[in-house]
């Protein structure tokens, strides 16, 4: 009699784990191609950011005629989830899984949330704008559906990015982390640039049908790209799966992380610096247009120059830190470069020189690149292996909140000065306080960061943590009993 059971088992055994979504072993050296593939999740994050903040921002206001203030509130909704990034990171650190996975489930869940948000978003926006029969529908349906879709996408983005970065950190040796950070930032930029052009081309002739196609197409693309990104990336860890349950509350874990020398200070630097650099993101283009009378094509090029500067910054930081540089040096240098950059922006308004503004933008981008890379690398190096998720969650929470608040504050300050009776004396006057504030924030960031650079503390964020005094007691992290 044909032993079908033996036959099937033989086939399955020869199948191996070739078609399984997890890696065979946690190999020591992860090839660059695999890291590149993992970094694809940043492409979908960039895609979601551009779609929401860039494309839909315009489509909702211009084509769908939704009030601008309502659009601003909707786009700000995902920020509500930013502080929860620390919690998500902590949960992925301590996730109990019989399969021995801890990052993949969260990336998958985040991807599903992102997909779900994009799947209902076009219809929610159409209802919100009163398209078709929706004119007669009660207002709350459109409002709550749109809010839900933005919340879902936002939560998904936060989840995917936090846990994806943690997985990337898990995968590589500490010496290679700067390379990974650079890769992640570059992929985020690439995703944003490519999708900005793609959305622009696809929505050139707007129809409601096209809007549905584009957003739902993004949903499918998100699942596909994230699926490719996480395939076979995380190895199953049997010891983790069978380890006895240890209950650690989030607060315990947080207290442990925050108790590490320089951690809170590092987070403060991240918040101040990100706010300083972030405020310019949305104001550089209107500044160029209104003050220096640049055309739309020229101001768009300004954004490209900013991205180019950031790329240079990431590249330099990757090489520098990869060769053993200290992360806090890059952070300080980035912030220090940013201060004169914003000074030059103001100077360009005084002498009405567009080339000077372009140079200042390049410099600001370069500083932001160095600063961003430095802070993320420092965060990775500052945390023990067991708390990488929590640490990167804290980085993301501070960074996303600071950037969001900065963009909002920058806009509010500009509008307030414009509205003030003496405000609109020159075209530049609404922007002067904003750029001055940015310089001030960066100055503060440098002040807070300097003690981290000086003395023995800096070794905590250097490549080799062996000599750091604070490592000996706490490196066992979660393995040690709670306080």
Partner 1 sequence: MSNDPDKVWPTGLNLREAEEVHSYLIDGTRVFGVIALIAHLLVAVTTPWLG
Residues lying near partner 1 in the complex (CB under 8 A) are found at: 5-6, 8-9, 12, 97-99, 105, 108-109, 112, 115-116, 119-120, 123-124, 126-127, 131-134, 137, 141, 145, 148, 241
Q: What is the largest CA-CA distance in the chain?
A: 96
Q: Phi then psi for 204, rounded to 5 degrees? A: -55, -50
Instruction: Output the six-digit token pair for 192.
Output: 């944003």
- Name the residue nearer to partner 1 (CB basis): 211 or 263: 211
Q: How far is the CB of 6 from partner 1 (least distance, A)?
A: 6
Q: How far is the CB of 154 from partner 1 (least distance, A)?
A: 16
Instruction: Output the six-digit token pair for 410.
Output: 């920058």
Q: How far is the CB of 237 from partner 1 (least distance, A)?
A: 13
Q: Which residues fall within 8 angstroms of residue 119, CB to CB, at 6 or more apart?
A: 216, 219
- Name the residue nearer to partner 1 (CB basis): 106 or 185: 106
Q: How far is the CB of 206 from partner 1 (least distance, A)?
A: 16
Q: How far is the CB of 9 from partner 1 (least distance, A)?
A: 5
Angle between helices 139-171 and 177-202 (to 10 degrees): 150
Q: How far is the CB of 125 from partner 1 (least distance, A)?
A: 9
- Name the residue nearer to partner 1 (CB basis): 75 or 119: 119
CA distance 59 to 211: 9
Q: Which residues fall within 8 angstroms of residue 62, CB to CB, at 6 or more apart?
A: none
- Name the residue nearer to partner 1 (CB basis): 8 or 224: 8
- Name the residue nearer to partner 1 (CB basis): 106 or 287: 106
Angle between helices 354-382 and 327-351 (to 10 degrees): 160
**Where does residue 398 rank: exposed (0-12), middle (13-18), buried (19+ CB within 10 A)?**
buried
Q: How far is the CB of 141 from partner 1 (least distance, A)?
A: 6
Q: How far is the CB of 109 from partner 1 (least distance, A)?
A: 8
- Name the residue nearer to partner 1 (CB basis): 123 or 314: 123
CA R_g for the chain = 24
Cβ atoms of 300 and 430 within 8 Å: the answer is no
CA distance 197 to 200: 5
Three-state DSSP state, 64:
coil
Cβ atoms of 80 and 156 within 8 Å: the answer is no
Q: How far is the CB of 319 from partner 1 (least distance, A)?
A: 40
Q: How far is the CB of 25 from partner 1 (least distance, A)?
A: 17
Compute the residue count for the chain: 483
Q: How far is the CB of 3 from partner 1 (least distance, A)?
A: 9
**Where does residue 357 rank: exposed (0-12), middle (13-18), buried (19+ CB within 10 A)?**
buried
CA distance 329 to 34: 29
Cβ atoms of 460 and 444 within 8 Å: the answer is no
- Name the residue nearer to partner 1 (CB basis): 108 or 199: 108
- Name the residue nearer to partner 1 (CB basis): 32 or 141: 141
- Name the residue nearer to partner 1 (CB basis): 121 or 446: 121
CA distance 279 to 411: 8
- Name the residue nearer to partner 1 (CB basis): 76 or 112: 112
- Name the residue nearer to partner 1 (CB basis): 126 or 441: 126
Cβ atoms of 258 and 146 within 8 Å: the answer is no
Instruction: Output the six-digit token pair for 483.
Output: 């306080």
Query: In b/e form, how buried is each residue of 321-331, taking b as 16+ CB within 10 angstroms?
Result: bbeebbbbbbb
Question: Between vectors from CA 328 to CA 324 and to CA 332, what angle results, nearest 5°?
Answer: 125
């Amino acid at each position: 009699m044909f032993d079908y059971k033996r036959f099937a088992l033989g086939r399955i055994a020869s199948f191996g784990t070739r078609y399984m979504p997890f890696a065979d072993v946690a190999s020591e050296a992860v090839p660059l191609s695999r890291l590149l593939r993992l970094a694809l999740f940043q492409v979908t994050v960039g895609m979601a950011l551009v779609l929401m903040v860039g494309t839909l921002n315009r489509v909702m206001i211009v084509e769908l005629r939704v009030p601008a203030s309502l659009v601003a509130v909707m786009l700000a909704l995902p920020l509500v989830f930013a502080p929860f990034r620390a919690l998500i990171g902590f949960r992925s650190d301590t996730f109990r899984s019989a399969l021995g996975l801890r990052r993949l489930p969260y990336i998958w869940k985040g991807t599903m949330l992102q997909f779900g948000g994009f799947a209902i978003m076009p219809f929610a926006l159409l209802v919100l704008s009163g398209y078709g029969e929706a004119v007669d529908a009660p207002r709350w349906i459109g409002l709550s559906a749109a809010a839900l879709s933005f919340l879902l996408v936002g939560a998904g983005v936060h989840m995917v990015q936090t846990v994806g970065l943690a997985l990337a950190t898990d995968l590589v040796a500490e010496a290679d982390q700067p390379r990974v950070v650079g890769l992640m930032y570059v992929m985020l930029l690439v995703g944003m640039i490519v999708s900005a052009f793609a959305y622009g081309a696809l929505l050139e002739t707007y129809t409601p049908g096209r809007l549905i196609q584009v957003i739902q197409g993004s949903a499918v693309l998100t699942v596909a790209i994230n699926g490719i990104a996480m395939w076979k990336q995380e190895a199953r860890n049997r010891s983790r799966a069978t380890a006895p349950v240890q209950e650690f509350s989030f607060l315990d874990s947080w207290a442990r992380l925050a108790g590490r020398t320089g951690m809170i200070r590092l987070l403060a630097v991240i918040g101040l610096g990100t706010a300083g650099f972030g405020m310019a993101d949305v104001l550089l283009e209107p500044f160029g247009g209104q003050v220096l009378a640049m055309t739309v094509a020229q101001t768009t090029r300004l954004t490209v120059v900013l991205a180019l500067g950031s790329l240079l910054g990431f590249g330099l930081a990757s090489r520098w830190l990869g060769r053993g540089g200290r992360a806090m040096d890059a952070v300080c240098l980035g912030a220090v470069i940013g201060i004169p950059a914003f000074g030059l922006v103001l100077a360009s308004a005084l002498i009405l020189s567009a080339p000077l503004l372009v140079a200042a933008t390049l410099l600001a981008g370069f500083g932001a690149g160095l600063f961003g890379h430095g802070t993320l690398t420092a965060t990775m190096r500052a945390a023990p292996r067991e708390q990488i998720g929590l640490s990167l969650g804290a980085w993301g929470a501070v960074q996303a909140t600071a950037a969001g608040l900065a963009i909002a504050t920058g806009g509010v300050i500009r509008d307030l000065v414009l509205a003030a009776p003496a405000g609109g004396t020159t075209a530049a006057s609404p922007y002067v306080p904003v750029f001055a504030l940015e310089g001030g924030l960066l100055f503060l960031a440098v002040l807070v960061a300097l003690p981290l650079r000086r003395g023995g503390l800096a070794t905590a964020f250097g490549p080799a943590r062996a000599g750091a005094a604070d490592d000996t007691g706490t490196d066992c992290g979660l393995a040690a009993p709670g306080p």
